[in-house]
Structure 1
Amino acid sequence: MSCRIAFFGTKPYDRDSFEKVNASFGFDIKYYKGHLNLNNIVLTQGADAVCIFVNDTADADIIDALAANGVRLLALRCAGFNNVDLEAAKGKLKIVRVPAYSPYAVAEHTLALMLSLNRKIHRAYWRTRDGNFSLHGLQGFDMHGKTAGIIGTGKIARILIHILKGLGMSVVAYDLYPDVKYAEEEGIRYGTLDEVYAAADIISLHCPLTPETRYLINEDSIAKMKDGVMIVNTGRGQLIQSNALVEGLKSKKIGSAGLDVYEEEAQYFYEDTSDKIIDDDVLARLLSFNNVIITSHQAFFTSEAMHNIALTTLQNIDDFMQGKPLVNEVKLS
């Protein structure tokens, strides 16, 4: 019997990429638009596996309901798993993820945010469309010779660091487990968080979201940064305490911010809410700043990444069904 998969949070681009790859696997996939929650958990009955994304819920109640419905595998089509209660899942169902789909995609989007913020591309675009070709207020700075502070030095960060080095930037990095050999080879240095805050003209976040990194960027850490610092976050929304970010922007301590993620994004990101009022006051405030660019968690979104996500996700499921080792299994540490 073919493996049955309940697929939640489906967008047209999800279905397109998974259908193409599934031609080689032949799984029975049922696609649902809604995010997985207790109101639609009944749709998982009879499924061998459930596939979810970053804004789906997989707390203890959901885990218990999935197990009761006979689901044996929860397949995340993303790298992060902070939306899954791993303790609740222990002994009930396996969890797999896609640890890397295209680190180039995220690194390149991070660079795009940096360049757009610095050279005010978004503002120039608005102006010229209205026939305004003045340069007032559009002055940027040479990134060459400036210092980038990179927090977390995994695959994405290392690609970004290589790009920034190519622009002539110096790099100071922080990682819980610094790779001294890598630093020597790439010509960067590791420092403490305080050293990164003090030295960096641009700070980019690439660390996982853990209890230790939650609200890493807060009132205290912002106070330690250079005046006019640029902050870019293509990692996880809760790495930044949003109210502190707003205050930093208002005081001009923070010169600009590029956000591909937001701590309360689930209600808005990936959805068209253009005909509604944004009732999240903090998000609305951030959107009002002309020195803030917010994108809808799209850093990963390239054709190559979508193909890799589909391939790895379905391969994870195939390995599980065939009793093979789960190379991308998520376990409690």
Structure 2
Amino acid sequence: MKILFFDTKTYDKESFNKQLEHYPEIEIEYLKADLAPRTAPLAKGYDAVCGFVSSDVGSETMDALREAGIKLILMRCAGYNNVDLEKAEEYGIKVMRVPGYSPEAVAEHAMALALTANRRIHKAYVKVRENDFSLSGLMGFNFYEKTAGIVGTGKIGAAMAKICRGFGMKVIAYDVHRNPELDFAEYVSLDELLSRSDLISLHCPLMDSTYHLINRDTIAKMKDGVILVNTSRGGLVKTADLIEGIRARKFFGVGLDVYEEETNNVFEDRSDEILEHSTTARLLSFPNVMITSHQGFFTQEALAAISGTTLDNAVAFQKGIQNGNEVSA
């Protein structure tokens, strides 16, 4: 099987090449360009393409992939909201993903963002570098005995719930499906979670029903002085309303690993550019906001799991085996 790998970073190539030793039947060609309508025709002559969370696998890309003869799209991530599944099904193109690579990696990053936003670690670091050892602007609050609200209790949400419990927090949760592992968590309505939580961490998928889940109305239901963390998908939060809430001093802190404007920024060095009309710049102007660049997954263990599962998916497809990692409309 020949796979064309899009949006290659050095760590991708190293991780997949290490795993390829165990998959002699697979060949990978790496491209720096991301998968999009203009690059999809490059897949002609390959059996499959490999994309990521930032790839454009929409309608036009699907048309081009069909024209190129592609039968398999390997998403080396859990999310697939950027994939036109209806067209894939219509064209007979299989889509497979990596549903769980390291829930703990993302959950630990979510807690790191929460702690950073709370204790102003990002500000403290800059102050000390400038020989300013004063404590002004660095006041936080204890997480111990506070209430953590987990929105979405799949593998990542469950891992975050366990971390919060380890901090001595009371854990409440909202999800359509209850996770039997979380016998210590109290499941409540979304409105109740919003009103009771001192820390709200988002771990639900992006769907029509969750798009802009956090908006002016839901923000108004939150406690004053709440900390909000999002390591799931940027579209869960309506950024304009979030900024309005920050300016109204609704939030004690905000930690974001994902945000609506991130598509052109993810994993790219844009340090020499002037980002006009940048929502990111507006968010970073607030002292109680901490933003990272979609790095929640970025651990050695997670990369090994992503590459291994992606290649397993390719083998399963080649053998005509259903392994549970298929996604459909």
Q: Using structure 2 for the length normalisation, give the TM-score.
A: 0.97
Call closer, same or farther: CA 1:84–1:4 in 2, change over 3 Å: same
Q: Tell me the amino acid that sits aligned with residue 268 of structure 1.
A: N
Q: Percent identity?
A: 49
Partner of 1:150: 150
CA RMSD in angstroms, aligned pairs only = 1.1
Call closer, same or farther: CA 1:25–1:167 in 2, change over 3 Å: same
Call closer, same or farther: CA 1:240–1:133 in 2, change over 3 Å: same
Counterparts of 2:17 and 2:90, CA distance in 1: 31
Partner of 2:53: 54
Partner of 1:207: 204
Structure 1: which 4+ aligned runs deviate by more than 2 Å?
A: none
Partner of 2:97: 97
Partner of 2:75: 76
Counterparts of 1:190 and 1:294, CA distance in 2: 29
Counterparts of 2:71 and 2:263, CA distance in 1: 26
Bigger Cα displacement from structure 2, 56-65 vs 99-108: 56-65
SS at 1:220's partner residue? helix
Q: Does 1:18 align with 2:16?
A: yes
Partner of 2:224: 227
Q: How does 1:240-251 map to 2 (within 5 A)?
A: 240-251=237-248
Partner of 1:87: 86
Bigger Cα displacement from structure 2, 128-137 vs 96-105: 128-137
1:103, 1:159 within 8 Å by CA — same for their partners in 2? Answer: yes
Counterparts of 2:167 and 2:323, CA distance in 1: 40
Q: How does 1:1-333 map to 2 (within 5 A)?
A: 3-26=1-24, 27-92=26-91, 93-179=93-179, 181-183=180-182, 185=183, 187-332=184-329
SS at 2:228's partner residue? strand
SS at 1:150's partner residue? strand
Residue by residue over 1:8-58, the C-alpha shift from the partner in whole angstroms, topping out at 9 and shown as x without a partner, is: 011111111001001111322111111111222221000100000011111
CA displacement at 1:160 relative to structure 2: 1.2
Counterparts of 2:139 and 2:127, CA distance in 1: 14
Number of positions where the alignment pairs a residue of Structure 1 with one of Structure 2: 327
Counterparts of 2:39 and 2:156, CA distance in 1: 35
Counterparts of 1:220 and 1:91, CA distance in 2: 38
SS at 1:163's partner residue? helix
Q: Tell me the amino acid that sits aligned with residue 242 of structure 1.
A: T
Residue by residue over 1:32-85, the C-alpha shift from the partner in whole angstroms, topping out at 9 and shown as x without a partner, is: 111111222221000100000011111122112111211110000000000001
1:96, 1:326 within 8 Å by CA — same for their partners in 2? Answer: no
Counterparts of 2:28 and 2:42, CA distance in 1: 12
